[in-house]
Structure 1
Amino acid sequence: MTQYLDAAALRELAERAEQTDPPPCTCTKTPLDGWQSQPLSLDERQLEQIGTLVCADEAEPTFAEHLPGEGGYWSEHAPIAPRYFPYNRCGVWKCTLCGRLYLRYTEGGGYFVDQRIRALKARLIEDVPL
């Protein structure tokens, strides 16, 4: 089973990863600072899940979003609030080639399923209660 990460553990993990100087990598061909559909250029085999933000104690994670100010869901400046959608449905993934960290979840709509991905940035993590 994948380890649950609360906001403090997620921030610590992100800060440790950001202290290294990762080499150039194919995982950065497409900018992933804000949510994106997972690009075809990113070989999924180079990603390894290292944690989850899905809390097993919650029967159904909320669909409420935490978007203060004028930022939107797709913005590279949008806060990463682990208790809110879509973060509360994310896995935490590491590129096995360079060590960069990503958040991923599956967006399901009426007629589609879309794997979404966003780079994990420690400075954007906010521990906001529901």
Structure 2
Amino acid sequence: MPEYLDTATLIALARAAEARAPGPCACTKTPLDGWQSQPLSLDETQLREIGTLLHEEDPEPTFAEYLPGKLDYWSAGAPIAPRYFPYNRCGVWECSSCGRLYLRYTEGGGYFVDRRIRALRLALIEDVSL
């Protein structure tokens, strides 16, 4: 299992990644500021998992979401709250081409499985308790 990343480590990784790659990403044609189904334009072989926000000692992470105000799950401005869904089930992945970091998880329903991805943005990380 990938290494668990606490919020402080996630913030440090996001800060370093944004310093390395401050401009727009050319690795995918689809903006990934908010959650998206993983686009076909993103070459998955460029991604390397560097850690997880899924704590191994939490057998059933919450499905509660942290969405203050009028933001919704798909919003590019929605906070990244590692203790809340879906972040508490995410892997943290690095693009080997541009150095940016992405959050990824698999959304499963009764009749579908959807791999979702979102760019990790330092300014949106919020360390809020359940």
TMscore range, shorter length: over 0.9
What secondary structure sits across from 1:103 in the alignment? strand
User: 2:80 aligns to what?
Assistant: 80
For residue 45 of structure 2, give the secondary structure of its aligned residue in structure 1.
helix
SS in 2 for 1:16: helix
Q: Could you tell me how far 1:21 is from its partner in structure 2?
A: 3.4
Contact 1:22 1:99 in 2 (8 A): no
Partners of 1:72 and 1:78 within 8 A in 2: yes
1:42-79 per-position Cα deviation (integer Å, ceiling 9, x unaligned):
11111000010000110101000000011000000000
Q: What residue in structure 1 maps to residue 127 of structure 2?
A: 127
Contact persistence 2:21–2:98 (CA under 8 A) = no
% identical equivalent positions: 72
Match of 1:29 in 2: 29
Q: What is the number of equivalent residue pairs in this alignment?
A: 130
Aligned to 2:46: 46
CA distance in 2: counterparts of 1:69 and 1:32, whole angstroms: 21
The whole-number CA distance in structure 2 between the counterparts of 1:9 and 1:37 is: 26
Note if 1:106 corresponds to 2:106: yes
What's the counterpart of residue 115 of structure 2? 115
How far apart, CA to CA, are the structure 1 residues paired with 2:10 and 2:114? 24
Unaligned runs of 5+ in 2: none
Do 2:28 and 2:41's aligned partners in 1 also have CA atoms closer than 8 Å?
no
CA RMSD of aligned residues (A): 1.4
What does 1:7-22 correspond to in 2, within 5 Å? 7-21=7-21
- Give me the whole-angstrom Cα distance separating, in 1, the residues matched to 2:85 and 2:110: 18
TM-score relative to the length of structure 1: 0.95
2:70 corresponds in structure 1 to 70
**Deviation of residue 3 (structure 1)?**
1.1
TM-score normalised by L of structure 2: 0.95
Equivalent AA in structure 1 for residue 100 of structure 2 = R
Q: Is there any run of 5+ residues in structure 1 with no aligned partner, and where?
A: none
Q: Distance in 1 between matches of 2:64 and 2:79?
A: 14
